[in-house]
Amino acid sequence: MILSVDRVHKSFAAPSGPIEILCGVDLHVKEGETVAIVGESGSGKSTLLSLLAGLDVPTRGSVCVDGADLASLSEVDLARFRARRLGIVFQQFHLMSGLTALENVSLPLELQNAPGALDRAREALDHVGLAKRADHLPSRLSGGECQRVAIARALVVEPALLLADEPSGSLDARTGEAIDRLLFELVERRGATLVLVTHSDRLAASCDRRLALVDGVLSADA
Protein backbone atom coordinates (compact mmCIF):
# COMPACT_ATOMS: atom_id res chain seq x y z
CA MET A 1 0.00 0.00 0.00
CA ILE A 2 1.31 3.40 -0.90
CA LEU A 3 -1.12 4.97 1.58
CA SER A 4 -2.51 3.41 4.77
CA VAL A 5 -4.83 5.41 6.97
CA ASP A 6 -6.01 3.55 10.07
CA ARG A 7 -8.71 4.64 12.50
CA VAL A 8 -7.88 8.31 12.11
CA HIS A 9 -9.68 10.83 14.29
CA LYS A 10 -9.36 14.60 14.14
CA SER A 11 -10.87 17.09 16.56
CA PHE A 12 -10.70 20.87 16.64
CA ALA A 13 -11.09 22.99 19.74
CA ALA A 14 -14.28 25.06 19.89
CA PRO A 15 -15.67 27.30 22.64
CA SER A 16 -18.20 24.62 23.55
CA GLY A 17 -15.52 21.90 23.63
CA PRO A 18 -13.70 19.86 20.99
CA ILE A 19 -15.54 19.05 17.77
CA GLU A 20 -14.68 15.75 16.15
CA ILE A 21 -14.51 16.18 12.37
CA LEU A 22 -13.03 12.78 11.50
CA CYS A 23 -14.27 9.85 13.56
CA GLY A 24 -12.29 6.78 12.56
CA VAL A 25 -11.28 7.09 8.93
CA ASP A 26 -9.75 4.04 7.22
CA LEU A 27 -8.26 4.32 3.76
CA HIS A 28 -5.89 2.01 1.92
CA VAL A 29 -4.62 2.95 -1.51
CA LYS A 30 -2.51 0.77 -3.78
CA GLU A 31 0.22 2.07 -6.01
CA GLY A 32 -1.19 3.45 -9.25
CA GLU A 33 -4.75 3.64 -7.94
CA THR A 34 -6.90 6.74 -8.38
CA VAL A 35 -9.35 7.47 -5.56
CA ALA A 36 -12.00 10.20 -5.45
CA ILE A 37 -13.30 11.55 -2.16
CA VAL A 38 -16.64 13.33 -2.26
CA GLY A 39 -18.69 14.85 0.53
CA GLU A 40 -20.65 17.92 1.48
CA SER A 41 -18.92 21.20 2.17
CA GLY A 42 -17.63 21.16 5.75
CA SER A 43 -17.58 17.36 5.97
CA GLY A 44 -13.82 17.33 6.58
CA LYS A 45 -12.36 16.52 3.15
CA SER A 46 -9.65 19.19 3.29
CA THR A 47 -8.93 18.26 6.90
CA LEU A 48 -8.35 14.66 5.80
CA LEU A 49 -6.12 15.69 2.90
CA SER A 50 -3.99 17.86 5.18
CA LEU A 51 -3.44 14.81 7.42
CA LEU A 52 -2.44 12.71 4.40
CA ALA A 53 -0.01 15.45 3.42
CA GLY A 54 1.48 15.62 6.90
CA LEU A 55 0.48 19.29 7.13
CA ASP A 56 -1.50 18.50 10.28
CA VAL A 57 -1.53 15.57 12.70
CA PRO A 58 -4.41 13.27 13.63
CA THR A 59 -5.81 13.38 17.16
CA ARG A 60 -5.69 9.57 17.07
CA GLY A 61 -4.84 6.91 14.51
CA SER A 62 -2.04 6.63 11.97
CA VAL A 63 -1.17 7.80 8.47
CA CYS A 64 1.52 5.86 6.59
CA VAL A 65 2.70 7.06 3.19
CA ASP A 66 5.09 4.98 1.10
CA GLY A 67 5.98 2.91 4.18
CA ALA A 68 6.66 5.86 6.48
CA ASP A 69 4.46 6.53 9.52
CA LEU A 70 4.21 10.32 9.32
CA ALA A 71 3.94 10.63 13.10
CA SER A 72 7.33 8.95 13.55
CA LEU A 73 9.19 11.52 11.44
CA SER A 74 10.90 14.60 12.88
CA GLU A 75 9.83 18.00 11.53
CA VAL A 76 12.87 18.10 9.27
CA ASP A 77 12.39 14.55 8.00
CA LEU A 78 8.70 15.20 7.44
CA ALA A 79 9.43 18.32 5.42
CA ARG A 80 11.99 16.40 3.36
CA PHE A 81 9.61 13.48 2.90
CA ARG A 82 6.86 15.84 1.76
CA ALA A 83 9.15 17.56 -0.72
CA ARG A 84 10.40 14.30 -2.23
CA ARG A 85 7.47 11.91 -2.12
CA LEU A 86 4.29 14.02 -2.22
CA GLY A 87 2.70 16.27 -4.79
CA ILE A 88 -0.12 18.51 -3.64
CA VAL A 89 -2.54 20.57 -5.73
CA PHE A 90 -4.80 22.96 -3.85
CA GLN A 91 -7.94 24.75 -4.97
CA GLN A 92 -6.22 28.13 -4.59
CA PHE A 93 -3.00 27.19 -6.46
CA HIS A 94 -0.67 28.53 -3.71
CA LEU A 95 2.03 29.69 -6.09
CA MET A 96 4.84 31.93 -4.85
CA SER A 97 3.83 35.35 -6.20
CA GLY A 98 7.40 36.66 -6.49
CA LEU A 99 8.64 33.72 -8.54
CA THR A 100 8.11 33.07 -12.24
CA ALA A 101 6.21 30.02 -13.46
CA LEU A 102 9.50 28.24 -14.12
CA GLU A 103 10.92 29.17 -10.70
CA ASN A 104 7.74 27.96 -8.98
CA VAL A 105 8.05 24.59 -10.70
CA SER A 106 11.78 24.22 -10.10
CA LEU A 107 11.57 25.25 -6.43
CA PRO A 108 10.80 21.76 -5.00
CA LEU A 109 13.78 20.40 -6.94
CA GLU A 110 16.08 23.29 -5.96
CA LEU A 111 15.16 22.74 -2.29
CA GLN A 112 16.49 19.20 -2.50
CA ASN A 113 19.49 20.17 -4.65
CA ALA A 114 18.25 17.87 -7.41
CA PRO A 115 20.48 17.92 -10.49
CA GLY A 116 19.09 19.53 -13.62
CA ALA A 117 16.30 21.28 -11.71
CA LEU A 118 15.69 23.98 -14.31
CA ASP A 119 15.67 21.56 -17.23
CA ARG A 120 13.25 19.25 -15.46
CA ALA A 121 11.03 22.20 -14.54
CA ARG A 122 11.00 23.36 -18.17
CA GLU A 123 9.96 19.89 -19.26
CA ALA A 124 7.17 19.79 -16.65
CA LEU A 125 5.91 23.20 -17.81
CA ASP A 126 5.96 21.91 -21.36
CA HIS A 127 3.80 18.94 -20.29
CA VAL A 128 1.11 21.31 -19.03
CA GLY A 129 1.31 23.41 -22.20
CA LEU A 130 3.00 26.43 -20.62
CA ALA A 131 6.51 26.33 -22.08
CA LYS A 132 5.97 29.83 -23.50
CA ARG A 133 4.93 31.25 -20.14
CA ALA A 134 8.00 30.12 -18.22
CA ASP A 135 9.15 33.64 -17.38
CA HIS A 136 5.75 35.01 -16.36
CA LEU A 137 4.85 35.82 -12.77
CA PRO A 138 1.60 34.27 -11.48
CA SER A 139 -0.04 37.73 -11.57
CA ARG A 140 0.31 37.68 -15.36
CA LEU A 141 -1.30 34.24 -15.70
CA SER A 142 -4.99 33.29 -15.74
CA GLY A 143 -6.47 31.06 -13.02
CA GLY A 144 -6.35 28.03 -15.29
CA GLU A 145 -2.73 28.75 -16.19
CA CYS A 146 -1.81 29.15 -12.51
CA GLN A 147 -3.35 25.76 -11.79
CA ARG A 148 -1.35 24.26 -14.67
CA VAL A 149 1.80 25.65 -13.05
CA ALA A 150 0.72 24.17 -9.71
CA ILE A 151 0.14 20.78 -11.37
CA ALA A 152 3.58 20.93 -13.00
CA ARG A 153 5.11 21.82 -9.61
CA ALA A 154 3.33 18.89 -7.94
CA LEU A 155 4.42 16.38 -10.58
CA VAL A 156 7.97 17.58 -11.21
CA VAL A 157 9.26 15.62 -8.21
CA GLU A 158 7.62 12.44 -9.57
CA PRO A 159 5.74 11.96 -6.30
CA ALA A 160 4.79 8.56 -4.91
CA LEU A 161 1.43 10.08 -4.06
CA LEU A 162 -0.41 12.99 -5.63
CA LEU A 163 -3.03 14.74 -3.49
CA ALA A 164 -5.49 17.15 -5.09
CA ASP A 165 -8.07 19.18 -3.17
CA GLU A 166 -10.77 20.41 -5.57
CA PRO A 167 -8.20 21.29 -8.24
CA SER A 168 -10.82 22.85 -10.53
CA GLY A 169 -12.91 24.28 -7.68
CA SER A 170 -12.01 27.93 -8.21
CA LEU A 171 -12.14 27.88 -12.02
CA ASP A 172 -15.00 28.45 -14.44
CA ALA A 173 -16.63 25.28 -15.77
CA ARG A 174 -14.79 25.09 -19.08
CA THR A 175 -11.36 25.89 -17.69
CA GLY A 176 -12.02 23.51 -14.82
CA GLU A 177 -12.85 20.68 -17.17
CA ALA A 178 -9.66 21.27 -19.11
CA ILE A 179 -7.67 21.19 -15.85
CA ASP A 180 -9.40 17.96 -14.77
CA ARG A 181 -8.63 16.34 -18.12
CA LEU A 182 -5.01 17.45 -17.98
CA LEU A 183 -4.57 16.17 -14.43
CA PHE A 184 -5.95 12.76 -15.38
CA GLU A 185 -3.93 12.54 -18.55
CA LEU A 186 -0.71 13.24 -16.64
CA VAL A 187 -1.65 10.85 -13.83
CA GLU A 188 -2.43 8.07 -16.28
CA ARG A 189 0.66 8.65 -18.35
CA ARG A 190 2.83 8.30 -15.25
CA GLY A 191 0.82 5.56 -13.55
CA ALA A 192 0.78 7.91 -10.55
CA THR A 193 -1.29 7.32 -7.43
CA LEU A 194 -3.95 9.97 -6.91
CA VAL A 195 -6.22 10.90 -4.02
CA LEU A 196 -8.58 13.56 -5.27
CA VAL A 197 -11.21 15.60 -3.45
CA THR A 198 -13.84 16.75 -5.89
CA HIS A 199 -17.40 17.99 -6.26
CA SER A 200 -17.47 16.86 -9.86
CA ASP A 201 -19.35 13.61 -10.47
CA ARG A 202 -17.71 13.35 -13.85
CA LEU A 203 -14.23 13.66 -12.38
CA ALA A 204 -15.04 11.24 -9.55
CA ALA A 205 -16.36 8.74 -12.09
CA SER A 206 -12.99 8.82 -13.87
CA CYS A 207 -11.31 7.44 -10.73
CA ASP A 208 -10.85 3.74 -9.95
CA ARG A 209 -12.70 4.18 -6.65
CA ARG A 210 -15.14 6.70 -5.26
CA LEU A 211 -15.51 7.23 -1.50
CA ALA A 212 -17.83 9.50 0.44
CA LEU A 213 -16.96 11.29 3.67
CA VAL A 214 -20.13 11.36 5.76
CA ASP A 215 -20.35 11.97 9.50
CA GLY A 216 -16.59 11.75 9.83
CA VAL A 217 -16.29 8.32 8.22
CA LEU A 218 -15.22 7.26 4.73
CA SER A 219 -17.19 4.63 2.90
CA ALA A 220 -17.85 3.47 -0.64
CA ASP A 221 -20.09 5.95 -2.38
CA ALA A 222 -23.34 4.48 -3.69
Ligand X SMILES: Nc1ncnc2c1ncn2[C@@H]1O[C@H](COP(=O)(O)OP(=O)(O)O)[C@@H](O)[C@H]1O
Of 48, 75, 74, the closest CA to residue 61 belongs to 48
Q: How far is the CB of 139 from Mg ion (least distance, A)?
A: 25
39 binds, among ligand X, Mg ion, none (CB under 5 to 8 A by kind): ligand X
Q: Of the two residues 91 and 175, which places its CB atom closer to ligand X in the complex?
A: 91
Q: How far is the CB of 107 from ligand X (least distance, A)?
A: 26
Residues in Cβ contact with 3 at an 8 Å cutoff, skipping those fewer than 6 apart: 27, 28, 29, 52, 63, 64, 65, 66, 161, 193, 195
127 binds, among Mg ion, ligand X, none (CB under 5 to 8 A by kind): none
Q: Of the two residues 29 and 213, which places its CB atom closer to Mg ion in the complex?
A: 213
42 binds, among Mg ion, ligand X, none (CB under 5 to 8 A by kind): ligand X
Contact 174, 182 (CB under 8 A): no
Q: Of the two residues 46 and 175, which places its CB atom closer to ligand X in the complex?
A: 46
Helix, strand, or coil (residue 71): helix
Interaction between residue 175 and Mg ion (CB under 5 A)? no
Q: Are strands 86-89 and 161-165 parallel, antiparallel or unpaired?
A: parallel
43 binds, among Mg ion, ligand X, none (CB under 5 to 8 A by kind): ligand X
Burial of 66 (C-beta count, 10 Å sphere; 0-12/13-18/19+):
middle
Q: How far is the CB of 196 from Mg ion (least distance, A)?
A: 12
∠ at Cα 97 (118, 45), nearest 5°?
95
Contact 118, 102 (CB under 8 A): yes
Q: How far is the CB of 71 from ligand X (least distance, A)?
A: 18
Q: How far is the CB of 20 from ligand X (least distance, A)?
A: 10
Task: Compute the distance between CA of residue 84 and CA of residue 59 in angstroms, rounded to an integer.
Answer: 25
Where on the chain is the footprint of ligand X (CB under 6 A)? Answer: 12, 21, 39, 41-47
Q: Among residue numbers 44 through 103, which ones bind Mg ion (CB under 5 A)? A: 45-46
Q: Of the two residues 104 and 198, which places its CB atom closer to ligand X in the complex?
A: 198
Q: Are strands 19-29 and 3-12 parallel, antiparallel or unpaired?
A: antiparallel
Binding site for Mg ion (CB under 5 A): 45-46
